[in-house]
């Protein structure tokens, strides 16, 4: 069997959903299990709705627009409005509840955010059934997914694996399962974090021992750079798990970073495909590359980062300094992307959205800590970096010629990845130049 995950644009309106049904049908001899995201843009709208309700604003117009967006899709597919009546009713009550009590806990936010996927599975399953592929909608918890209780960033509990297998064993119809959401042991709805449907697909694929996990999106797979910055970016035919993980962590939007974890554990290949061009082979992600596939793959960047710079009174003899820093970040559950150290200082990068005030306050008890936000991170990924200095030599020669200030160079421990920071205002120019130098020559 295979898992086929369809992202927001692939279920964004009636046309794409009809195409989804064709894609599922084309693979029917491989017994697809379908995982879907919310209709494109809906999760953002749910977050906006929540905040509006919290602020006490009138949300009726926004709720009506969201309902109409889904009803339009149903109508265009020739499906009855009743398909999603229950979910819409529940959503409306929840939003008015938030408006009444003017309180929005992470738990309530996850419950609200879950409606995107809970609505889309109903529509997709109804359309599949109507178009000749008998299907059944499931919320992930109904088919065995149990998570911890970290709202907004939940992780599956180990018992999910056997439960998923048992739950889906007797299902004859094509299962259409919510991405992004789960439930904890108490039955509270949780979410796996934004973009988490890819991760859901990998969790189900690993539990079921799938032959392949297909991630259907709206581009031809992974690109050698963000096409919005580099119009000449090329499609990448093949990545290793390690390369894909680096790319996902360092800013490529195509795959959620956690996706590779279950796939690596069970050695299940992933394929990123374009639902608007299903005949394109997309990008394969596999455990091991052949010699000629171990090339340079992609250049990614993140401009929403924060750098925490920490200076200690001479670090000399202060064994345990790094450990104390790591401990502060770990306790505040801040994910660190990159780290550079010297005798007296440590610099770390995190996502710009990380809540750093309490971290800086704690660090200030034993060091001088501050947050810089004017830098951007560039990351060059490919297993070629393991075998030669061609890439770093050319990168730094170009940067020198461009007179770009470079900070925090990291030539990753596995050397799949060359990473550094440049001033934010020069990011686009540098990415364009380095792409030309490394991929277009
Ligand atoms: N709908 C969720 C989001 O927008 C999950 C996903 O699309 O992967 O973040
Ligand atoms: Mg996504």
- pLDDT, tens digit, 9 for 90 and up, residues 137-191: 999 999 999 999 999 999 999 999 999 999 999 999 999 999 999 999 999 999 9
Which atom of ligand 1 has the smallest separation from the CA of 193?
A: 9
Which atom of ligand 1 has the smallest separation from the CA of 38?
A: 1
Architecture of domain 2-218: 3-Layer(aba) Sandwich (3.40)
Q: Check residue 184 and report its DSSP letter.
A: -
**Which ligand is located closest to the Cα atom of residue 45?**
1
The reported pLDDT for the residue numbered 249 is 81
Q: Is the CB of 38 under 6 A from ligand 1?
A: yes
Report the C-alpha gap between 239 and 214 in whole angstroms.
14
Burial class of residue 158, CB neighbours in 10 A (0-12, 13-18, 19+): exposed
- pLDDT, tens digit, 9 for 90 and up, residues 98-136: 999 999 999 999 999 999 999 999 999 999 999 999 999
Q: What tokens were used for 87?
A: 């979910």
Task: Tell me, in angstroms, the distance from the centre of ligand 1 to residue 201's CA.
Answer: 12
**Cross-strand pairs, 212:** 2
* Parts of the chain belonging to CATH 3.40.1160.10: 2-218
**Which ligand is located closest to the Cα atom of residue 11?**
1
The reported pLDDT for the residue numbered 233 is 95
pTM assigned to the model = 0.91
Q: How far is CA 243 from the centre of its chain?
A: 15
Report the C-alpha gap between 5 and 9 in whole angstroms.
12
The reported pLDDT for the residue numbered 318 is 65
Ligand 1 site-directed mutation target among 109, 194, 202, 254, most atoms within 8 Å of CB: 194
Q: Is the CB of 416 under 6 A from ligand 1?
A: no
CA-based nearest residue to 33, from 194, 198, 161, 213: 213
Ion ligand 2: residues, CB < 5 A: 7, 195
Residue with CA closest to ligand 1 atom 5: 195
Fold entry, domain 298-440: VC0802-like (3.30.2130)
Which atom of ligand 1 has the smallest separation from the CA of 116?
A: 1
Q: Is the CB of 196 under 6 A from ligand 1?
A: yes
- pLDDT, tens digit, 9 for 90 and up, residues 13-72: 999 999 999 999 999 999 999 999 999 999 999 999 999 999 999 999 999 999 999 999
Q: Is the CB of 197 under 6 A from ligand 1?
A: yes
Q: Is the CB of 195 under 6 A from ligand 1?
A: yes
* Parts of the chain belonging to CATH 3.30.2130.10: 298-440
């Amino acid at each position: 069997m295979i898992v086929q995950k369809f992202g927001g644009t692939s279920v964004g309106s009636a046309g794409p959903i009809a195409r989804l049904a064709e894609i599922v049908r084309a693979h029917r001899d491989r017994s697809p299990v379908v995982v879907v995201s919310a209709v494109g843009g809906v999760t953002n709208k749910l977050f906006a709705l929540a905040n509006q309700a919290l602020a006490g604003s009138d949300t009726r117009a926004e709720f009506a627009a969201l309902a109409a967006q889904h009803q339009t899709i149903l109508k265009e597919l020739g499906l009855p409005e009743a398909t999603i009546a229950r979910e819409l009713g529940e959503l409306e009550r929840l939003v008015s509840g938030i408006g009444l009590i003017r309180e929005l806990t992470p738990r309530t936010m996850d419950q609200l955010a879950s409606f995107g996927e809970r609505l889309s599975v109903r529509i997709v399953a109804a359309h599949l059934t109507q178009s000749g592929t008998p299907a059944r909608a499931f919320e992930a918890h109904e088919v065995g997914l149990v998570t911890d209780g970290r709202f907004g960033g939940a992780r599956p509990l180990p018992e999910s694996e056997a439960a998923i297998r048992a739950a889906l064993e007797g299902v004859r119809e094509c299962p259409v399962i919510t991405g992004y959401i789960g439930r904890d042991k108490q039955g509270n709805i949780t979410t796996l974090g934004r973009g988490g449907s890819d991760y859901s697909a990998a969790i189900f694929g690993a539990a079921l021992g799938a032959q392949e996990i297909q991630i259907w999106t709206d581009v031809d797979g992974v690109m050698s750079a963000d096409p919005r910055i580099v119009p000449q970016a090329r499609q990448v035919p093949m990545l290793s798990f390690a390369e894909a993980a680096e790319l996902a962590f360092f800013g490529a939007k195509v795959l959620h970073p956690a996706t590779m974890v279950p796939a690596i554990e069970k050695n299940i290949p992933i394929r990123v495909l374009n639902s608007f061009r299903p005949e394109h082979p997309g990008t394969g992600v596999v455990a091991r590359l052949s010699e000629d596939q171990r090339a340079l793959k992609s250049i990614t960047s993140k401009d929403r980062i924060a750098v925490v710079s920490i200076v200690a009174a001479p670090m000399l003899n202060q064994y345990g300094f790094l450990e104390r820093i790591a401990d502060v970040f770990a306790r505040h559950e801040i994910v660190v992307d990159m780290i550079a150290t010297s005798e007296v200082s440590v610099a770390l990068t995190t996502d710009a959205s990380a809540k750093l005030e309490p971290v800086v306050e704690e660090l200030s008890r034993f060091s001088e800590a501050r947050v810089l936000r004017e830098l951007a991170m560039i990351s060059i990924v490919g297993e070629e970096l393991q075998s030669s200095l061609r890439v770093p030599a050319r990168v730094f020669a170009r940067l020198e010629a461009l007179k770009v200030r470079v900070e925090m160079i990291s030539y990753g421990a596995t050397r799949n990845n060359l990473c550094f920071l440049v001033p934010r205002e020069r990011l686009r120019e540098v990415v364009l130049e380095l792409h030309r130098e490394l991929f277009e020559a």
